[in-house]
Amino acid sequence: MKTDNLIVVLLVAIILVSCSPTPVSLPAINSSLALENTSTPSPTATPSPQPEWVYLSDLQPNLAKVGYWTYAIGKYPASEGSMVEGQVIHNGDKTYPHGLFVSAPSNVRYELNGAYRSFKSEIFIDPSMICDTDGALFQVYLDSELIYSEHVSAPTSSDPNTPKLVNLDIHGGKILLLHTDPGENADMACDATIWGEPALLTDPLPAPAIPANAPLEQQPELARELKLFTNAMRAAGAIEAERSISFSDVQVANFKDLNGAAFDTAFVHLDPDPTQSGEAFEGDYPLLVNEDGQWKKVGLRFWAEANKMGIAVPLIANDSELDDPTYSLKLLNDNATQIVLYVDISPDHLFSDFKGKDWQQVVDNWEQVNQQLDQGILPDGFTYHWEGADRVLALADELNMDVRIGEILPTASAVPAEIVEGQFNPEQLENLFEFMLKVPMIKYRDRVKTWLVVTEATGWLSSGSGPEKSWGFPFLQLGGVDIMEKAYGWAHETSPDATLILTDDHILLNKMVSDFGPTQPHWNNVFFKTVTELKDRNVPIDAIDIENNFWIYNPPDMEFMRSQLQHVQELGYSIYAPEVTVLTSEEFPWTSMQSQKEVQVANPVAAQALIYQQTLQVYLDLGIPWFGLGGLSDRFSFWRYSEFPETHAMILDYNQQPKAAYYLLVSTFYTHLMDK
């Protein structure tokens, strides 16, 4: 009882003390513990979002095209070999329920919007597709740049085609394109290409993009260019196979263009071993340019314009190549100031709806048709196809590029068959050719100021004979120089302010031997005789363009080239943009033109590069304001479309990556500026 009373007293005393305003001395407390005990409780941290894999099959592509069968996800679209329609895609015991079955050539494109950091997939050709083919290419493009290319061999009974793993960094990418390709020979047999379980890794917290004005050593573009440059120079033998060009090899210099603008360039200096590729590759090779404080890659367009020079490149096939998602408009824009338009303006395209009766209608009503032409009016009552040319001209406007159109006096296979096989007399034929020439000029004369009127007449004029029902039209039917004079007269009447071009080929070679004997110097003599006669007749030709389809086994002599071009200038003609290609094939495609090898070649890539470089140097030395190429890449090449892919004639390879020729052209432009 007493104990209970004592406890009550003590409790009352403690309560009274705790309520007293008088300070009470307390034992010392650990300061860190006090901070922990008296601070406001921290809220629970929000966990950071974690990356996760997303199958491409769960996303919607904005393009899905295949070369055969149909685009399919996870299951075979058809039955063939051991494939069973509707069965899950498999390779051996492994299944691919999210795989993409895309028979080559195929394109599947996705909008990424910078939301992913990695791409992975297995790649293979379905093992049931056993046949004797060259296999297929699997390629990945990120924002129009090729970031992966792998050749996969066709399956065989002994090697069923083990899948290969692809794992790529796609950080910050906006557009992903998966492309499978049957290769340069376009052999699509058994190319049942499959992306096995392709997936993207999300990027919840993307790293900030590196600004264009960041220091040079932080520029990712420089690392890429160093790799491409190394590969190109190894292939040319300009550097040893085991050597890599690295950042330590990069120097920076200032230069001014011919307009007085100042720039910095990041360049690599090469001094090759003379016992390998000789000293021809010695020089400075710009990789990036600093413009307005920003480092960036520039192409031939920048360097040509810096030298006050135009550079022309044709669309090789027609506007349809613009529909190929692997065709890079950026490459076109970076490497040309002028688009040369051929196929979409040729009579066999422009007048494709014309039948024999339509051509007969032209000649039967020539007085009325001619009156409309003279008034600058397109003759009515006919259907014309302008859609392809309209598209190219719109593209040129978008890219701020000039356009040259040709040829507008149709020859060879461009002459409609109904005219070749028709029973038209010479006067009627002249009327038809005047009609075909003036119609496109009337349509586009307000937009296009440069017209290629006649091309490659020398071949027909030099022989004086040939298969008159096809390739000789119109020269062998209507008199070579006579019809040329009339054609330029018609063109000048239609567009008096236009620049009118005459084009020929092989004139800068001093020796060509074909299966039928030597063709030079005969062709050169006929060419100069023809242009001299046209000059004497006061034919309104403003400039001459030499196509220059060179062959590494019969290279041009640069002094002879220089003398030929000077001869043209002495006749009073300007020199216009050539269409240079340099063939590396063991045989020239047309042995009727040339077949005999004049030199031995140790490295075709190096030999090609030097011919490109030396040709440009001659044009620069002579102050010619134009240079041109017959195309950019081996993939979109006139020679490939003509079934000669082995020529590898362009400055970019089949994957549109730069060859040594590209870098040597850039170096030549740069050196010309520095010498000024």
The residues, ordered by sequence, that sit 6+ positions from 23 with a Cβ below 8 Å of its Cβ are: none
Task: Give a yes or no: residue 285 inside a domain.
Answer: yes
Q: Three-state DSSP class for 570?
A: helix
The reported pLDDT for the residue numbered 504 is: 94
Whether residues 607 and 675 share a domain: the answer is yes
The residues, ordered by sequence, that sit 6+ positions from 294 with a Cβ below 8 Å of its Cβ are: 212, 213
- CATH number of 578's domain: 3.20.20.80
The reported pLDDT for the residue numbered 473 is: 86
Residues paired with 393 in a beta bridge: none
Whether residues 427 and 561 share a domain: the answer is no
The reported pLDDT for the residue numbered 44 is: 57
- Please state, in angstroms and rounded to a whole number, the distance separating the CA atoms of residues 461 and 475: 7
- Please state, in angstroms and rounded to a whole number, the distance separating the CA atoms of residues 345 and 384: 10
Whether residues 310 and 345 share a domain: the answer is no
Residue 11 has pLDDT above 50, yes or no: no
Whether residues 487 and 341 share a domain: the answer is yes
Q: Are the beta carbons of 561 and 595 closer than 8 angstroms?
A: no
- Please state, in angstroms and rounded to a whole number, the distance separating the CA atoms of residues 493 and 421: 29
* Max avg pLDDT among 18-32, 454-468, 659-673: 659-673
The reported pLDDT for the residue numbered 43 is: 58
Strands 193-202 and 513-514: unpaired
User: Which residue range is the domain that position 280 belongs to?
Assistant: 216-297
Whether residues 133 and 258 share a domain: the answer is no
From 297, 312, 345, give the residue that closes a domain: 297
Q: Which residue has the higher pLDDT, 370 or 522?
A: 370
Q: Are the beta carbons of 442 and 389 closer than 8 angstroms?
A: no
Query: Which amino acid would we find at residue 352?
Result: S
The reported pLDDT for the residue numbered 208 is: 78
pLDDT digits (tens, 9 = 90+) for 424-470: 999 999 999 999 999 999 999 999 999 999 998 887 787 655 544 55
Residue 115: Cβ-neighbour burial (10 angstroms; 0-12, 13-18, 19+): middle
- Please state, in angstroms and rounded to a whole number, the distance separating the CA atoms of residues 576 and 599: 29
Task: Give a yes or no: residue 514 inside a domain.
Answer: no
The residues, ordered by sequence, that sit 6+ positions from 58 with a Cβ below 8 Å of its Cβ are: 98
Q: Are the beta carbons of 155 and 83 closer than 8 angstroms?
A: no
Task: Give a yes or no: residue 418 inside a domain.
Answer: yes
Q: 40-54, 390-404, 424-438: lowest mean pLDDT where? A: 40-54
**Count of the separate structural domains present in the chain:** 4
Task: Assign 3-state DSSP to the chain and report helix, strand, coil percentages, each to 5.
Answer: 35, 20, 45
Q: 162-166, 464-468, 591-595: lowest mean pLDDT where? A: 464-468
Whether residues 229 and 308 share a domain: the answer is no
The reported pLDDT for the residue numbered 467 is: 47
Task: Give a yes or no: residue 594 inside a domain.
Answer: yes
Query: Which amino acid would we find at residue 92?
Result: G
Q: 41-50, 450-459, 536-545, 586-595: lowest mean pLDDT where? A: 41-50
Q: Which residue has the higher pLDDT, 625 or 28?
A: 625
pLDDT digits (tens, 9 = 90+) for 483-498: 999 999 999 999 999 9
Instruction: Write down the mean pLDDT value for the chain.
Output: 89
From 273, 297, 321, give the residue that closes a domain: 297
Q: Which residue has the higher pLDDT, 556 or 218?
A: 556
The reported pLDDT for the residue numbered 461 is: 80
pLDDT digits (tens, 9 = 90+) for 297-335: 999 999 999 999 999 999 887 778 899 999 999 999 999
The reported pLDDT for the residue numbered 46 is: 60
Give the CA radius of gyration of the chain.
34
Residue 410 has pLDDT above 50, yes or no: yes
- Please state, in angstroms and rounded to a whole number, the distance separating the CA atoms of residues 481 and 485: 6
| High-pLDDT (> 90) share of the chain, % | 74
The reported pLDDT for the residue numbered 490 is: 98
Whether residues 493 and 584 share a domain: the answer is no
Measured at the CA of 544, the angle between CA 541 and CA 548, to 5 degrees, comes to 155
Between the CA of residue 574 and those of 469, 544, 616, what are the distances in Å?
A: 34, 6, 16
pLDDT digits (tens, 9 = 90+) for 352-376: 999 999 999 999 999 999 999 999 9
Residues paired with 262 in a beta bridge: 256
- Please state, in angstroms and rounded to a whole number, the distance separating the CA atoms of residues 258 and 676: 8
The reported pLDDT for the residue numbered 30 is: 30
pTM for this predicted structure: 0.90
Identify each DSSP E strand in 126-257 by its residue range: 136-142, 145-152, 164-169, 175-181, 193-202, 250-256
- CATH number of 71's domain: 2.60.120.1060
Residue 7: Cβ-neighbour burial (10 angstroms; 0-12, 13-18, 19+): exposed
Residue 24 has pLDDT above 70, yes or no: no
Task: Give a yes or no: residue 5 inside a domain.
Answer: no
- Please state, in angstroms and rounded to a whole number, the distance separating the CA atoms of residues 651 and 375: 45
Q: Three-state DSSP class for 55?
A: strand
Between the CA of residue 171 and those of 166, 174, 201, 221, what are the distances in Å?
A: 15, 9, 10, 14
Q: Are the beta carbons of 650 and 628 closer than 8 angstroms?
A: no
What is the C-alpha end-to-end distance of the chain, expressed in Å?
Answer: 117
Whether residues 571 and 640 share a domain: the answer is yes
Whether residues 137 and 253 share a domain: the answer is no
The reported pLDDT for the residue numbered 278 is: 56
Strands 283-291 and 294-296: antiparallel
Residue 21 has pLDDT above 80, yes or no: no
Task: Give a yes or no: residue 527 inside a domain.
Answer: no
From 241, 272, 297, give the residue that closes a domain: 297
- Please state, in angstroms and rounded to a whole number, the distance separating the CA atoms of residues 113 and 473: 54
The reported pLDDT for the residue numbered 51 is: 92
Task: Give a yes or no: residue 554 inside a domain.
Answer: yes
Residue 4 confidence class, pLDDT cut points 50, 70, 90: very low
Whether residues 483 and 348 share a domain: the answer is yes
Q: 268-282, 307-321, 497-511, 537-551: lowest mean pLDDT where? A: 268-282
pLDDT digits (tens, 9 = 90+) for 191-231: 999 999 999 999 988 777 788 788 888 888 999 999 999 99
Task: Give a yes or no: residue 516 inside a domain.
Answer: no
The reported pLDDT for the residue numbered 213 is: 80
The reported pLDDT for the residue numbered 205 is: 80
| Token pair recorded at residue 373 | 């032409």
Whether residues 239 and 225 share a domain: the answer is yes
Strands 175-181 and 136-142: antiparallel
Whether residues 377 and 483 share a domain: the answer is yes
**Virtual CA dihedral for 354, 360, 362, 365, nearest 10 degrees?**
-150
Residue 72 has pLDDT above 80, yes or no: yes
- Please state, in angstroms and rounded to a whole number, the distance separating the CA atoms of residues 339 and 406: 11
| Token pair recorded at residue 35 | 């901070």
